[in-house]
Amino acid sequence: MNEIIDAISAAAVRVKKAIEFSDTGYSEHINKTGDTQLKLDIISDLIIEEEFAKVSSIKSIISEEKDETKLLHAKGRYTIGYDPLDGSSLVDVNLAVGSIFGIYENGTDGSNIVAAAYVVYGPRVELVTAQNEVTLYRLNESEKFVKAREIKLNEKGKLNATGATQKGWAPYHKKLIDEIFAEGYRLRYSGGMVPDLHQILLKGGGLFSYPSTTDAPKGKLRLVFEVFPFAFIFEKALGAAIDGKKRILDLKASRIHDTSPCFFGSKEEIKKVLNEYAKH
């Protein structure tokens, strides 16, 4: 597993440079989700693939930017699902973006995830890894990630990150979100799930929601390379992750680009969601 974290670290340094200095325009390709790929989405995907190709324990990779699973080492043990550049539409406005990694064994359902990591490219570059514990690392001047601290959520937080277009929310979802704001929670939503979830993790808790909507009943965020990795990280940080009614890590991904509604947070907020969603 250490060799995978090392490959993610090496890729992160290269992706950061690509973000800082490459063309921020669109390519002519559309990915499986239907998004027109930025040149940076493609560059980041290639950088990560190159670094993973050096690691013999990685059997195959599944990327947001690739239509199919790609075999790297037939005798390898792990499959890695990754989003090379999450929030890439925020690069042109110079907001923080990220990369997300889920490390799986024997399949890519929620129950198969054995470790997860993400990188935040903000004013600083940070790496968060989750195996038994969730650990924050910061990139130093010598381009090495140095451990900063462990991450553990409080039982209850203060932040509310509310995703998806409100016009498409179910009335009971709106009621839930209104009640949470009425309790004094503050809105924090940049539109990049990596910095938005990172903020909740580092500030001790809160709620991030990306619900089912009238135009996207299965939500927007993708199970294998966005939702399962963060569900794993939140559980290991003593928080929780659900799709509204069920624990995310009990879900199955029947296709690699499948999406799911998702809620990540500290235990108190997730209990509130469960209570409200159980009525519908």
Residue 148: what residue type? A
Which residue in 83, 235, 243, 269 binds ligand AHG (CB under 6 A)?
83
Q: Does 196 bind Mn ion (CB under 5 A)?
A: no
Which residue in 191, 215, 218, 250 binds ligand AHG (CB under 6 A)?
191
Binding segment toward ligand AHG, per CB under 6 A, in 85-93, 150-158, 180-188, 239-247: 85-93
The answer to whether the CB of 200 falls within 8 A of the CB of 231 is: no
The answer to whether the CB of 46 falls within 8 A of the CB of 71 is: no
The answer to whether the CB of 176 falls within 8 A of the CB of 272 is: yes
Tell how far CA 49 is from the center of its chain.
18
Q: Where are the beta strands (DSSP E) in 152-194?
A: 159-162, 186-187
Site track for ligand AHG across 32-51, x = CB under 6 A: ---x----------------
Q: Which is nearer to Mn ion, 196 or 235 (CB)?
A: 196
Q: Which is nearer to Mn ion, 120 or 176 (CB)?
A: 120
Q: Does 157 bind ligand AHG (CB under 6 A)?
A: no
- Give the C-alpha separation, 230 to 86, whole Å: 13
Residue 171 tokens read as 């009335």
Q: Does 102 bind ligand AHG (CB under 6 A)?
A: no
Q: Does 193 bind ligand AHG (CB under 6 A)?
A: yes
Applying the rule CB under 6 A, the residues between 48 and 67 that interact with ligand AHG are 64
Q: Which is nearer to ligand AHG, 59 or 120 (CB)?
A: 120
Site track for Mn ion across 42-81, x = CB under 5 A: ----------------------x-----------------
Residue 124 tokens read as 């600083």
Taking CA atoms, 60 is separated from 49, 174, 207, 226, in Å, by 10, 40, 33, 17
Q: Which is nearer to Mn ion, 156 or 260 (CB)?
A: 260
For 253, what's the count of Cα atoms within 13 Å in the CB-facing half-sphere? 28
Which residue in 157, 192, 219, 244 binds ligand AHG (CB under 6 A)?
192
Q: Within 10 Å of residue 168's Cβ, how many Cβ atoms?
A: 14
The answer to whether the CB of 98 falls within 8 A of the CB of 120 is: yes
Which residue in 116, 164, 180, 237 binds ligand AHG (CB under 6 A)?
164
The answer to whether the CB of 103 falls within 8 A of the CB of 114 is: yes
Residues that bind Mn ion (CB under 5 A): 64, 83, 85-86
Residues that bind ligand AHG (CB under 6 A): 35, 64, 83, 86-89, 163-164, 191-193, 220
